[in-house]
Amino acid sequence: MLLPVLLLLLPFPDLPSVAGHPLYMRLPPSTLQALSAQGTKALQAAQRSAQWAVNRVAMEIQHRLHECRGCANHTVPCPAGPGRPRPQAQDPAAPGPCGERRPSTANVTRAHGRIVGGSAAPPGAWPWLVRLQVGGQPLCGGVLVAASWVLTAAHCFAGAQNELLWTVTLAEGPRGEQAEEVPVNRILPHPKFDPRTFHNDLALVQLWTPVSWAGAVRPVCLPQGPREPPAGTACAIAGWGALFEDGPEAEAVREARVPLLSADTCKRALGPELHPSSMLCAGYLAGGIDSCQGDSGGPLTCSEPGPRPKEVLYGVTSWGDGCGEPGKPGVYTRVAVFKDWLQEQMSAIPSSREPSCRELLAWDPPAEPQADAAPPCAFYSRLCSGPAVACARLAQQQCLQRRRRCELRSLAHTLLGLLRGAQDLLGPSPGMRRLAPALARSALSLLEPPRHPAREQRLHPGSRAAGARFPKRRPEQRKEGNGCPGLETLQQKLATLQGTHAWILQVPSEHLAMDFHEVLADLGSKTLTGLFRAWVRAGLGGQHVVFGGLVGLEPATMARSLPRLLVQALQAFRLATLAEAEGPQMGAR
C-alpha cells in the first residue's frame, strides 16, 4: 500500500547511461516553467467553469423554489408536474398591458450631468430593462418583450455565442426588490447581422424559464406598423452604460430623453456608415446627451399617448461615433422593420429548432427511446420517413451526440482555448488541428462522474497520487421544497455536479497553481510519430502526481505534445482527488 506513495516521494534515480550516452532526457526548466504557467491557467479555467456549472443549477433551484412559493401564495400559476419547466414558445402567463410604467416614475428627467448627459432612473422606472451577463460580467442591456424573450443587439454576442455562459438579470422592483437572474436558453442573432457594418444589429434571447408578471417586471410594447413616430418626437433611452466615452459604467440605471432624428439628418451626420433600412438616429447634434458603451441592446422607447400611455420600443441601442460628441447622434436598430422576424421567432414551435445545449444538458434520456421522438429530440425526427420507432431511436442518438458536444463546449472549450494559447507560447503548432479532437476527448473525461478509484487506477496505470489534502468542502444543503415538482431532480443534478467537479472545486484558490517539476523522456522509446515515452512529475498545491505520457523532443513535436500533457496532468489530479476521497485503502491519508 505504501509503495506508490514512497515511490512518489523519492526523486527520480540518477540517470543511467550506456557508453556515455544518456538513456533519458529531461525537459529544460524554461519549458517546464512555460508548461506550469499554462497548467495554472487551465486549472483556473477548469475551476471557473466548474463553479459556473454548479452555480447555474443552484440558480435554477432558487428560481424553482421562488415559483413554488409564488404558487403556494396563489400569485403565480403552479409549475408543471415532474420534470423541468421548459421554455414555452407561447408565453404562458398573461402579461397584462405592455409598456406600462408606474406613474411616479414616468417623468424622464431633463438632461443634467450625464447615460451620457442623463440622470439616475428611480428604481423600477423601466420594468422591461434587463442586463445581459456573460460569465457573470455585465456586458449589454436588453428589453423584455414577452415572458420568455429579451430583445437586444446582435453585436453583444460577437465574443461569446455559447448560451451556457449567459444570464439575464431582470429589473429590480420600485422598492429595490432583489433582481432575479435567469439563465439563457437560446441566442438568436438576426441571420443578416453584419458584424462589420452593424447592419441588422438585433438578437432575440430566449430565457430558460419565463418570467412571472407577478413582480415588478413588465414587457415593453412592440411597434404595430413599420414606421417610427415623426422626427423630433422625444423618446427615452436607459441603461447601465458608461457615463462618458471610455468612462466607468453606471452603478444604477440611468435614463435620458432624446429626440428622434430624420434619416436625412442622420445620414448627413454619420455618412455612409448609416444604413437607414435597419438603423435610426436619436439625440442632439449639439452633443452632450447620448447612450454609450454598455448601453447596447437597451431600449429607445417612445411614449404613445392615450388614456393609459404606453411605452413602445422603436430602437435598440447599437452604436455611435464616440459618446455624446457634437454632430454624432447615437444609432439604434429599427425595431419596427423587424416585426415579422420577431413574430416568426417567438411563435416558432419548439421542434422546429435544434435543441439548445441547455435543453440537452437538462434532458434525462429514457433508457429505451419512446415510440415517438419526444422533446427535445423531436427536431431530429422531422425528416425521417421510416417507422416511428426507428425514427425515434435515430432522433435520440442524434440528441445524445449533440449533448456530448454541448458537454464538450462547457468545459473543454475553455480548456482548448487555453491549450491553443499554450501552443502559441511553446512554439509552432503544425499538428494542432489534428490534435484538437484527441485533446477534447481526454478533456471530456474530466467531466465524467467519478467512478471507483480502484477501477480508474487500472484504466490509467501510470497515475499515482500522494501528498497534502485540502479539507473537503461539504456538499451544499439539499433540503426544502417538498411538494415542489421537479425540485428533487434539480437537487440531484446539483449533487452530481458537485461530485463531478469536486476535484477542482475543493482546491482553495490560493493553491491553484500547477507545477511541472520534471518531464523525463525515455530516449529508447521513440514512437512512429516521433514522440518518446516520458514520466511526468507535477504538483498542485501540496498534492503530487506522477504519470506516464508522450513527449516530443524537437521543437515541432514538442509543441504538439505539450498540450496533451497538460490535459493528462489535470486528469491525474482528478484521479488523485478521487483516490483520496476513497480514503484509507489507498494508503494515503
Catalytic residues: 155, 201, 296
Closest CA to 321 of 333, 332, 329, 313: 329
Q: In the stretch 219-258, what mask flags binding to ligand ARG with x, by CB under 6 A?
A: ----------------------x-----------------
Residue 243: all three cell numbers together: 457615463
Residue 315 interacts with ligand ARG (CB under 6 A)?
Answer: no
How many residues touch ligand ARG under the rule CB under 6 A: the total is 13
**Strand, helix or coil for residue 314:** strand
Show Cβ contacts of residue 99 under 8 Å, excluding neighbours closer than 6 positions: 128, 218, 219, 220, 221, 301, 304, 310, 311, 312
Q: Which is nearer to ligand ARG, 91 or 290 (CB)?
A: 290
With CB under 6 A as the contact rule, which of the stretches 4-12, 26-34, 271-279, 314-322 interacts with ligand ARG?
Answer: 314-322
CB of 25 to ligand ARG, least distance (A): 52
Q: Are 126 and 113 in contact (CB under 8 A)?
A: no
Residue 541 interacts with ligand ARG (CB under 6 A)?
Answer: no
Residue 333 interacts with ligand ARG (CB under 6 A)?
Answer: no
Residue 317 interacts with ligand ARG (CB under 6 A)?
Answer: yes
What proportions of the chain, in percent to the nearest 5, are helix, strand and coil?
Answer: 35, 20, 40
CB of 237 to ligand ARG, least distance (A): 8
Amino acid at 189: P
Closest CA to 238 of 248, 253, 228, 250: 253
Give the footprint of ligand ARG on residues 263-302 (CB under 6 A).
290-296
Q: Which is nearer to ligand ARG, 241 or 431 (CB)?
A: 241
Give the footprint of ligand ARG on residues 27-46 (CB under 6 A).
none
CB of 234 to ligand ARG, least distance (A): 17
Residue 431 interacts with ligand ARG (CB under 6 A)?
Answer: no
Q: Are 278 and 333 in contact (CB under 8 A)?
A: yes
CB of 328 to ligand ARG, least distance (A): 7
End-to-end CA distance of the chain: 12
**Strand, helix or coil for residue 49:** helix
Bridge partners of residue 303, in order along the sequence: 311
CB of 130 to ligand ARG, least distance (A): 14
Helix (H) or strand (E) holding 46: helix 29-72
Conformation bin of residue 123: beta by default, left when phi > 0, alpha when psi is -120 to 50: beta
Residue 181 interacts with ligand ARG (CB under 6 A)?
Answer: no
For 212-237, give one letter per residue: b (16+ CB within 10 A) or e: bbebbbbbbbbbeeeebbebeeebbb
Q: Which is nearer to ligand ARG, 218 or 254 (CB)?
A: 254
Bridge partners of residue 280, in order along the sequence: 332
Residue nearest to ligand ARG (CB): 320
Amino acid at 585: Q
Q: Largest alpha-carbon pair distance within the chain? A: 100
CB of 324 to ligand ARG, least distance (A): 7
Q: Which is nearer to ligand ARG, 49 or 167 (CB)?
A: 167
Residue 320 interacts with ligand ARG (CB under 6 A)?
Answer: yes
Residue 189 interacts with ligand ARG (CB under 6 A)?
Answer: no
Please state, as a whole number, how many other Cβ atoms lie within 10 Å of the Cβ of residue 47.
18
With CB under 6 A as the contact rule, which of the stretches 83-91, 318-326, 354-362, 426-434 interacts with ligand ARG?
Answer: 318-326
With CB under 6 A as the contact rule, which of the stretches 316-324, 392-400, 503-511, 569-577 interacts with ligand ARG?
Answer: 316-324
Q: Binding residues for ligand ARG, per CB under 6 A? A: 241, 290-296, 317, 319-320, 323, 330
